[in-house]
Amino acid sequence: MRPLLERYAPPLYGTVILPRLGDAATAEDVLRDTLATAVEKIGRFTWQGKSIYPWLRQIAINKVYDVHRASKRSRRLADAMAQELPSETDPEASPDAMMLAEEERRLHRARIEEALGELPARYRTAIQLRLVDELSRDECARRLEVTVGTFDVLLHRAVRAFRKKFGDRAGQDPTP
């Protein structure tokens, strides 16, 4: 396996991964994840009279998509938070507004932690790994010792349960 990976790593990195990401450090991480996934799933590869490169290329593209999705989620969350609450760098934010914004952040964090605390441990772990730590689906599944398909179902159920727990408190006044 090593000679194959050494042969195909440079073209994967240079023509598939780096051009789609533009960041060398992230591209190297994606290449490493791609090769690790290939080694892990080599048993699923079926020879079709072609090179193994198209299979490796598809794994790499899926890993790139995972990075873009995670980045997009992070940006959306940061943008939503920035629009909703004044920041410390906002010159027009009054000290009162800053204090209220910080208190609101604290209350939101507390609500999130409370809702997560009411979930089963596997649900909390799935949410932590995928949405907070932003690990790939493959890595999350590996850490939970399940298949990727099982992880997808687990995450879906975990998010649904979180929404239910978090939403149950949406109408309540968070201040005692």
Residue 14 has pLDDT above 50, yes or no: yes
Q: pLDDT tens-digit profile of 111-167?
A: 888 888 899 999 989 988 888 888 888 889 999 999 988 888 898 898 888 888 877
Q: Provide the CA 48 distance to its chain's centre, in angstroms.
A: 33
**CA-based max dimension of the chain:** 69
Give me the mean pLDDT over the 72-81 stretch: 62
pLDDT tens-place string over residues 89-99: 555 556 666 67
pLDDT per position as a tens digit, 150-166: 888 898 898 888 888 87
Q: Which pLDDT belongs to residue 68?
A: 81
Q: Does domain 1-84 have CATH number 1.20.120?
A: no
pLDDT band at 77 (very low <50, low <70, confident <90, very high): low
Higher pLDDT, residue 18 or 103: 18
CATH topology for the 95-176 domain: Arc Repressor Mutant, subunit A (1.10.10)
| Domain residue ranges of the chain, discontinuous segments joined by + | 1-84, 95-176
Structure confidence at residue 173 (pLDDT)? 42
- pTM assigned to the model: 0.44
pLDDT, tens digit (0-9, with 9 covering 90-100), for 33-44: 999 998 888 888
Q: SS in 3 state form for the chain?
A: CHHHHHHHHHHHHHHHHHHHHCCHHHHHHHHHHHHHHHHHCHHHCCCCCCCCHHHHHHHHHHHHHHHHHHHHHHHHHHHHHHHHCCCCCCCCCCHHHHHHHHHHHHHHHHHHHHHHHCCCHHHHHHHHHHHHCCCCHHHHHHHHCCCHHHHHHHHHHHHHHHHHHHHHCCCCCCCC
Dihedral class, residue 22 (left if φ above 0, else alpha if ψ from -120 to 50, else beta): left
Look at residue 144 in the predicted model and tell me its pLDDT: 93
pLDDT at residue 66, rounded to an integer: 86
How far apart are alpha carbons 42 and 62 in whole angstroms? 16
